[in-house]
Structures are given as C-alpha cells and as structure tokens.
A and B are shown apart, each in its own frame.
Chain A
Amino acid sequence: MNPSDKRVLIVGGGIAGLSAALYLADLKVSVSLAERAGALGGHAKELVCKALDVCVHCGACLVDEKIERVLGHPGIEVFLGTDLVDVSKEAGKEADEPHLWTGYYSVTLKREGEKTVLETEAIILAQGFSTFDPVKKPYGYGLFEDVITNLSLEKMIGQTGELRKPSDKGMVKKMAFIQCVGSRDAGEGHPWCSKVCCASALRLSALIKQMEPDIEITIFYIDIQNPGSALNANYHQIPSDLRLIRSIPADIFKTGDDQLKMSYFDPVKGEGLDEDFDLVVLSVGLVPNKDAGILSSICGVELDDYGFIKADSDQGIFLAGTVSGPMDIAESVKSAGQAAFEAIEYFEKEYFEKEGRKKSL
C-alpha cells in the first residue's frame, strides 16, 4: 500500500495550516497546501516576540520554524497566491483490498487566472480569522491617526523596534489599551470572548515598559483572562505600575490642541472622568473569516450560531485553527493535530472496519 496515495488538501498557510501540513506529511500522507497570500505565515507572522528576558510562551516564533520546514518538506506541495474556487465530490475508484475508500474530492485552485485541479481524499480548512472593524465603535478609529488596533501596534514594534505616535512620529508618554472591542458584545452579534487579547495586552505592556520606562500605560477591561494555561496565571512579568481600570470607555474625541480625550466611568472613584492620551490601542476581537460565507458554499459546510465554519467530518472536511473560533497559537497547533487525526481516521475508516470484522471472527 503506497502511503502517498492518500492526499489531503489544506487551505490556509497560517500556523494551523502549517502545523497540520507537517503532522500529515511527516506520516507520509501527501499534502497540498494552498495559501491566498504571496507568503506563508498568516496573522501570527506579524506578531512580535514579547519576552523581556524570559519567554512568555506566546508561540509567535514558531511560525518561522514551521514555514522553513514546510518549504523544505518533500511531501508538501505549496501553492502561494492561490484561491480555492471549487470543490466537488467525486464517486469512488474501484474498491480493491485493503483500499476500500471509494470517494474523493476534485478541487479547483486558481492562481493569477490559471486553474489547477487536484484530487484529494480529505480537506482541512485553515483560513484563519478576520478582525473586528472598530470603525463601528465611537473611538474615532479611521478618523484619528493615533487610535490604532493591537495588530498595528505589534507591526509597529516588530518592524521599527520603537513606539511612536502614527500622527507625528512623536514620543508616546501616555497610552491606553481598550479591551474587548467587538468581543463579549451581544449588540454587535459577537457574544464571545476572543481569548487572546488580555494576554496580548498585558505582555505588550510589559514589553513597552521595558522599551520606554517612563511611559504611563492604562488598560481598560471587563475581566482579565488567563494567558495560556487554564491553571494559575503567570502574571509575574506584569509591571506593577500598570493602571488597570475595570471600565470600557464611552468615547474618544479630539481636544482643541489635538490631544485625544477619552471619557470613561471610573469604578473606584465612582464618577465619570475625561483623560488625555497620546496613543489609544483597540484590542479588536477575532471574528469569523470574512469569506466564511463563500467558503461554506464552495465546500458545502455550515456556519455555526456565531458565523464560524463548522466541520463536516462525514464528508471529509475538517477544521484547524481560528477558522472555527478564537484561539491562541498553542490551541491552534493542537487543533491542527486534531484535524490531522480526524482526516486520517476518515480515509482509513473503511480499512479498519474491515480489520475490525476480521478481528472479531
């Protein structure tokens, strides 16, 4: 039985897609990996290392290692700048022992106008998430240059190594994070916690404090979620002079002399306050991939109540990573392992049903 007769198509080359590809290819399953962008890595590639001296286990550095391995792996065929355009289920090949699997997918990929058709036994969807567009919130995003998202902040620090106001490249003396922007928000139709933003904001704060010791950082939050592990949180690196205010600000406006003024209710003082900031960072939530609707019609899969894609294990379509819901890098890698196992279980099941019958005879 030639192992590479089995092929799995993985759509999406972020941390989940890369992990699933490696898991399967290391087991000699043939893998085709299609990525829409011109390079592999997805969102996690833009994340900055948040260690001060001690690793904070965010997993961002894993992406480059995996990209290296995937590109060098003889069993993984990579398609960059490639979109998934069609998926059709084909009837079976001749059943001959022990290869009892009788169905497969004919998948059409498109790159710069050119189409490729692949045959694959199973499909793993790993297209990742989209971020909430904070234009809908009264924070002046899109209007005020110094109101940015947490991802933009990561990009700035990662690329320049410095923290500066986007408007005039000036120093930042006072900054604020607003958590849960578009998350835990039934009004927006997002009644879920995006899981990763609390840890991200806390770690970024510690990193920024190390870069600029005199900076004043405030975090506006609802609840602080645990970074990573479900057990006792690892907060020892959080600077003690970090202001944590359990309140979500009402709005932001510009003052006469071009400062950002934020209004919020201070629960300790019990009154509404206005405060000036140089930079405001919105921790935007992880929402369903904006192409979830298209994907669901191409692959014939459903969306769940929140709009995230649902797997169809009976039909050989599995999910890895944030395409199914918010999760951090460690969980994405785990879910890739889960999807790889499910795919293998799926195209091996006919074989094992037969083996099982043999055993009980």
Chain B
Amino acid sequence: MSSIPLTGKAAIIGSGKTALELADKLSGSGIEVLLLTKNGPQNSPLLKDYSDQKKKGIEILTDRTVTGCSGETGDYRLTLCSKGKKTVREVGLIIILEEEKREPKLPLYGLDPSKNIIPLSKMNKKIGKDKSGNVFFITGLLDEGNPADLREALLSSIFILENTKKNKESAAFILTSNLKVAALGLESLKTKALGAGVQIFKFNKTMPRIKQRSHSSVTINFIDDITDSEHEYNADLLVIDEQVYPDPYMDDLIKIFGLKRNGAGFPTRENISRLSYRTNRRGVLAAGALESAEIKALALESITSLNPASVSGETNDRPCIDPKLCARCLTCFRLCPHQAIELNNKLNIGLDNKLKNELNIANSQNPVISPNACEGCGICLSACPAGAIRADLPLIQNKTDSVSDSVSDRPKTEGSDTHPFLTVFCCRRSAVRAGRKALGEGQYLPRNLKVVEVPCAGSIGEEDIFKAFCEQADGVLILTCHEGNCHSDQGNILAIRRMARVEKSLEQSGFSEKRLAAASLASNMGAGFARILNRFEKTIAGLEPKLDQRLDDRNEQRPD
C-alpha cells in the first residue's frame, strides 16, 4: 500500500475458496503472497489459472507440505517438502487456511452408509430436482446444529418443493431440536420455507426414531412435540448434518508451529485476546472457511501483522537468557506460550570465541528469546531453575518491592477492628484494570494494601510469594485472569500451581495455609475486585496466631 508500510511475504497454507480469495485481497493490497498447498494442481480446480495468479503477485506451490518452521514474526523460515525434496522459504506472516474434514453424523443416528443417505454439504440442485418423494433434512437433532447448516437445509428444501417434476409428489421435512436462526436473513428464510410447504418439526419431549430396514429403505417415526400426534414416513432421501474436525495435516501444522487448540481441535482458540483469527504465536493466523466479509477482516489482520511497528511489538525491552547460567534444561522453551524461545546455535554469534570455547557452546543448541515473538509475560523468568533469565521490564524488576500508586488513594475504613497487611499480586491485564475501576467507582477497599503489578500471574515465582510474607504481609493474594482468558494461555494455571507449593511450605512452618489465596477476575469487575479483597481481609483478620514474634519489628516499620 502506498501509505501503509509493510514488509515481508505472506504465506497462505491452503487452496480452497477462502485461501484464494484471501490471496487475491492481499496481493491487491501490494503484498506478495506465497500459496502453499499439499494438493496437486489437479486436485484444486481453482488453481487452474495459475499464470493469472503469478502476474498478480501470487506464487502458488502445489504438492508442498510444511515440515518445519523457525524464526519469528516478520522473519519466518518455512521448510517445505515436495516429493522428498526440501526447500526453505522466508516469509513474514503465516496464515493457515487448511480445509476442515467433514463426516456425516451416521454413527450419531445409528445409520449405515446408504445410497439414499447423503451429507448436507453434498446436497445440490441436481439432486433436488431429480428427487421425488419424502426428503428429510436432519440438522442439530441429537446434538447442537448451527445457522450455516440450517440455511443449507432451508434453501434446499424450498428448492425441492418449487422444482419438483410434474406428476411427482415431493415433501420436504426438517427435523431439529432448536432452529438456529441467529444469522442474517434466516428467520425470514424460515418463514418463506413454511410458506412454500416445508414441514419443520422441533423436538424436545421425545426424539424421532430413524430405522434402516434394508439397504435403501429408511423409515422415520416421531411424535409431534406440540400436538402429540404420531407420524410415520418412509424417507426417500435422508440428508444429514456433518461433524467437522481438523485434517491430520492440520495436526502436523499445529505441532510444527507450536499452536494451542480449541475444544474442536482447531488452532484458533476462543480466547478473547485472540480476536480475530490470531493464534498464540505472533505472525501466525488461522481460520476455517470464511464468508467474503470475514475474509476482509482476516486480510486486515494480515496487514496488521506485516506492519513493521506491529512486528516489533509494544516494548523493546525483552528478557534475555544468560548463557553462562543457562543449564539448557529447556524449561523456558517448554513453557513459553508464544513459541518465542528458539533453540539456536546461530544466535551465539554475539559471544566471543574465547567464551564459546570456555563454555563449549559453539555447536550446541542454546535457548534464545526471539525479541519480536516475546510478549513479555515473564513466565520463563520465574520458571528458570537456574535464574538465568533477566529482564529490564519495569514490572518484573519491581515485582517484589513495588507499591502501586494508584491504590494509595483509598477511601477511609469504617468500623473494622483489624486491618491486616495484605500484599496482592495483580495481573496487569485483568486485576490492575479491575482495581482502577473499583477506585473509580468509589468501592471500599482494605486499608493496609500493597499492590504488586505483574505482567502475567505466571511470572510470579515461589520466591516472590515468600518475599511478600517476609516483608510484613499477613496475607498474600494472587489475582489472575479467568481460566480461558489468560493472554499467555496458562499463566493463571502456573500461578495456582506455584501457590499450592508455597501453601504446603506454609503449613509445614506452622502458618495457616489460608494466608495465601488466589482468585480470578476480569478487567471489568470493579465491584468484584473490591468484594474479593474485602473477603480476603476478613479471612486474614480472623486467623490465629497473629505472628506475634514479628510484632515488634512491624511496630517499628508501620507508618502511622
């Protein structure tokens, strides 16, 4: 684009309609596109006019599988394999658009494959025109359906009734448990279908019985939910919905790129911080089949990813691994949620030869933090058993001796007898924001509160918690994002695990494990923040013993 600086190529993995439309959009924006597909040119009819694409700045490589990936956003090196031969291509951005696999839900309905049972995606106008008799569409009957499937069923059933051959009687039925009309125009389409004579049955009380008598005969028995009348039909054609799941190649890609999956096995998680189409790895986007409007949104995300300012991220200070201390246990490599730690001997270039010889690291694989991939969560820092990771990030630096200015403006307490000293570790994304909201709303908060801001709860180490107790805290509270909402995917879970270990130590030392607790919240929970803190203060105030031996020290230090 003339006015928007972009660097690097975009690699699209896939060859379906969505992949090609996106390639078009990106090349139209001046981005060079590399389209990689494991299919041969003959399997992808849309790739036929290859020469046309070439002119537009889209390079199409067929029969290519991605077998490896190194580097970081803006600077990826993809290893491609074609008929045994390997090549490496450099790209700035990777977009995974591998097609989903679809299987008709035959097992769910207890059916065997048969000539007159077809999956919904195979339903087409020709079949609709030729078929006569009873056509049954089953969508979202025994499990949840979706608007796209319902649209297909409605359009097909309307078509069947409007186009049946003369002298042949047709009837169209849709069987479902909930009509999924939550998409543009579907409610009107449903009304149109009913007007055309499509019979729609919704089931809640009882489920239809679908029986296969012989190889081509299917009967359907059901009781109408509303009228309680019994119906029996012979289905001349049964159109059933499909299960969608990732192709095995997708599984490979997920492993190669180090991506996290959602519940259905796809690489875009439903994590809110991954809107739209982002994955846990910067510079890698993923999506399934998309509508044109959504493809534009994906194109925008692609442009954003290729923008140099976006490549280098928000801050320039990144944690780095001291090779002199690094034991190469690879804990950081395993824990990094963003695949920002590379095993590299290339990046030892900065070390002088004397040091390399001394440490015998010239040819070994050392973990190195990729500056543009790192998101500064600090998980590696607290996980490193050798303390080899340092950061100049202010939040991590001051973790155990910061006092948040924003919480010093507290409303006066009312009627509480004791005000135990509380140290609260607050995740910057959720807890700190909720705390600010609580203050803005004038919520009542505990009086003796020390807030320690951390980039992610996963950066809180056991030593940080112990240090908090050593520095006057009667109670230590860890506030994290809700499970499933952590920007670092599992930072909250790591924090809870570490907390559990410290709890054990506390117990063994004769302190109540109730002095250490954790809670999750979201950034918009101002009232929630106050509620959690006040409840914790109450709990701590009610605990015995009151750490008498340190009372004298504390009296000296406590501000009046």
Contacts and interface: CB of A to CB of B under 8 A. Distances in A.
Interface string B187-199: 1100100000000
B482 A51 contact: yes
A352 B28 contact: yes
Interface residues of B, number: 75
Nearest to B269: A57
Contact of A160 (B178, B225, B527): B527
B275 A59 contact: yes
B237 to A, nearest CB: 25
Contact of B297 (A184, A198, A338): A338
B202 to A, nearest CB: 7
Given A23-B300, A64-B523, A325 B184 contact: yes
B272 A26 contact: no
A246 B204 contact: yes
A229 B264 CA distance: 11
Interface in B149-182: 178-182
A44 B203 CA distance: 34
Interface stretch (A166-174, A212-220, A231-239): A231-239
A333 interface: yes
Contact of A351 (B2, B25, B187): B2
Nearest to A48: B524
Contacts of A160: 527
Interface stretch (A129-137, A185-193, A275-283): A185-193
B430 A61 contact: yes
B4 A27 contact: yes
Contacts of B2: 1, 98-99, 348, 351
B525 interface: yes
A272 to B, nearest CB: 14
Contact of A61 (B25, B144, B485): B485
B522 A60 contact: yes
A344 B524 contact: no
A345 interface: yes
B528 interface: yes
Interface string B254-276: 00000000011000001110011
A5 interface: yes
B143 A232 contact: yes
A165 to B, nearest CB: 19
Given A51-B520, A55-B482, A338-B293, A191 B191 contact: yes
A38 interface: no
Interface string A8-30: 00000000000000010011110
A344 B522 contact: no
Interface stretch (B303-311, B329-337, B374-382): B303-311
Given A29-B4, A348-B1, A63 B520 contact: no
Contacts of A1: 2-3
Contact of A54 (B56, B183, B484): B484
Contacts of A267: 204-205, 225-226
B4 A3 contact: yes
Interface residues of A, number: 76
Contacts of B441: 159
Contacts of A49: 482, 521-522, 524-525, 528
Contact of B307 (A27, A161, A195): A27
A268 B299 CA distance: 49
B30 interface: yes
A26 B310 contact: yes
A2 B307 CA distance: 15
A164 interface: no
B485 A344 contact: no
B109 to A, nearest CB: 16
A259 interface: no
Contact of A184 (B146, B187, B528): B187
B522 A61 contact: yes
Given A61-B430, A161-B531, A338-B293, A3 B188 contact: no
9 contacts: A3-B3, A26-B307, A26-B310, A49-B524, A53-B483, A161-B527, A192-B187, A192-B188, A267-B225
Interface of A: 1-3, 5-6, 23, 26-29, 45, 47-49, 51, 53-55, 57, 59-65, 68, 98-99, 158-161, 184, 186, 191-193, 195, 198, 222-226, 228-235, 246, 267-268, 270, 325, 330, 333-338, 340-342, 344-345, 348, 351-352, 355, 359-360
List 5 A-B pairs, minimum CB-CB distance, nearest first: A337-B297, A55-B485, A55-B484, A341-B300, A49-B522
Interface of B: 1-5, 25, 28-30, 55-57, 143-144, 146-148, 178-188, 191, 202, 204-205, 225-226, 228, 244, 263-264, 270-272, 275-276, 293-294, 296-301, 303-304, 307, 309-310, 429-430, 433, 437, 441, 481-485, 520-525, 527-528, 531
